Structure 1
C-alpha cells in the first residue's frame, strides 16, 4: 500500500502526497528508487483523491517502477489554491518529488491529469523525463471547435464564463451516463473499479477541486504546448465522448516531440487499459 504524507509548502499550503515505496523522504536518488528502478509521477483525473490507482500501481510494480502522486489543491486533503492555473501544478509536483527525495521522473496523467503532467514538463524539463497523457484535454483555443463531440459540455461552457458561473452550474449538474461507452462501464466494473471507488471517495472534499480544474482548463494554461520539449505520448480513445479525439489531434500537431496512439475501440475510461504499454513507452525514452 502507498504511504501518504503532507507536504508543507512555503506559501502555507499543504499537499497530500503518496508514495508506493523507495528511498525515504529527504533522500537523493530521483531517477531510481532504493531497488534501482525508475520513478513515475501520476497525475490524477477530475475528480479523484490523488492516491495512485491500483492498476497503475500493479503495472508499475511489474516493471520495477516506483509511483508517487499527490492531490491537486482542494482534492483529497490538499489545501485550496484560489485562482490556480494549470501551470501552477508544475511547482507543486516538484515540491512533492523533493519531499520524497526524487530528482527526475516520468509523468503520466489521465483525463484532467494530462494537462498537469504536461505543465511539469514545460516548466521543469530538467526534472521530467517524458510524459504520457491519456484522454487528456487540449488547451482552449478558437482555432478548432473545442466543445465539438463532448456529450456534456455544460460544465466547461460555464467555466469559460468564470469560477462563479462554474460554481452555479455545479449546484444542478448531474452525471450523463451517455458520456461513457459500454466498454467504459465494463472497465469500471472490472479492471478499473478502483477508479470509480476513488471518484466516490473524492466527494468527501466537495466540488471545489473539480470546479477549479475546469476553470483552469478553459482559460490560458500559463504555458504553450510548444514549451513541452520532452517526449510526449498522447493516448486517445476514438469513441471518447468526454474529451473528443480532436483534442488529441491538436496536441499532436502542436507538441514538438509527440507520438499519438489512437485506440479505435476505446472511450474515456477503457483507454486506461493502455497504461502498461504506456509505461513501457516511457521507459524506452
Structure 2
C-alpha cells in the first residue's frame, strides 16, 4: 500500500495497476468498496495498456475519515494523487457510487481531466417532501436511504449499513460469490474459498463502514459543483439488466451537455469485455 498526506493531515491510501508507461486513469471505486481490484480487473487493465490508480476515499480502507465531506471535495485528493505520480493530464472513471466522484473531477479539474466514464452511477437525489416508505421504482432519485441521510444524518444511517453488511457477509460465508451476478449470468466461485477475495470483502463491508456512511451523506447534500458545468467528454455506461441504472443514466445525460449514454448487456457491474471497451474509450 502506498499513501499520500493531505494538507489537513489526512492519509489517502492508493494502489497502482497496469503498464507504468500507459495512459493514466484514476478510478473511483463504488459505494462501498476499496482500492483493491480483483485479478480479472487487474489482468484486463494490464492488457489494455492502462496505468490505473485506485484509492480509498476518506473513511475507507487506509484513508482517514473526513467528516462532513462533499462529493466535490474528492477533487482535491485526486489532484494530490495525480501530482504524486507526475501526471499533468489523466482520465477519470467511477463505478456506482464512484460515479459522482468521477464527475466531480471532470467538473472541478477541467485542465487536468481528459475524459470521464461513469458506470451505473447515480444522479443527485430528490430529498424534499415527506419520508418515502420505500425507494421509488419510477424515479431512482427518490431514494429512502438518501432521504434519511439528508434529514436525519449519520445516526439514522448506521444501523442500516451495519445490518446490510451483516447480511452480505452471511451470504458470502454461506458460499456466495464476491460479486453478485446479473440475472442473466451464472454466479462466480465462492468467495470463502479465496483468501484474497475474503480480504477484499472484509475490507469493504466490515472495515469501511464510516466511508460508506459518509458517501451517502455526501450524495444527499449539495455536491459542490453543477453537472451542467462539465465540458470534458463523458460516457455514461449502464447494464441492460438494470432499469434503475438506465434511469439514472438518463437523468445524468439530461444534465451533462457533453455526455453520451452507452448500454451494454449485463448488470450493475461491467463484465470483462465492457470494462476493456470502457478503458479503450478513456484512452482514445
Alignment of 1:121-270 (within 5 A): 121-141=106-126, 147-149=135-137, 154-161=144-151, 162-173=153-164, 175=167, 181-183=182-184, 186=187, 198-240=200-242, 243-263=244-264, 265-270=265-270
Q: What TM-score do the two structures reach when normalised by structure 2?
A: 0.81
Provide Cα deviations, 1:150-202, integer angstroms capped at 9, x if missing partner. 6x95533422322222124334446589x964346636779xx9888623332
- Structure 1, unpaired ranges of 5+: 23-32
Q: Relative to structure 1, is the Cα distance of residues 219 and 130 closer, same or farther in structure 2, using a 3 angstrom cutoff?
A: same
Report the secondary structure of 2:200's partner residue. helix
What is the RMSD of the two structures over their aligned residues, measured on CA atoms?
3.1
Report the secondary structure of 1:19's partner residue. strand
Q: Relative to structure 1, is the Cα distance of residues 164 and 142 closer, same or farther in structure 2, using a 3 angstrom cutoff?
A: closer
- Structure 2, unpaired ranges of 5+: 172-179
Q: Distance in 2 between matches of 1:171 and 1:279?
A: 34
Report the secondary structure of 1:116's partner residue. helix
Alignment of 1:1-12 (within 5 A): 4-12=1-9
Q: Distance in 1 between matches of 2:266 and 2:85?
A: 35
Q: Please say if residues 236 and 271 of structure 1, whose CA atoms lie closer than 8 Å, have aligned partners that are also in contact.
A: no
Q: Distance in 2 between matches of 1:248 and 1:148?
A: 16
Structure 1 runs, 4 residues or longer, greater than 4 Å off = 174-177, 187-190, 193-197, 270-273
Q: Say yes or no: does 1:15 pair with 2:15.
A: no
Q: Please say if residues 18 and 46 of structure 2, whose CA atoms lie closer than 8 Å, have aligned partners that are also in contact.
A: no
Q: What TM-score do the two structures reach when normalised by structure 1?
A: 0.80
What's the offset of the Cα at 1:97? Answer: 1.1
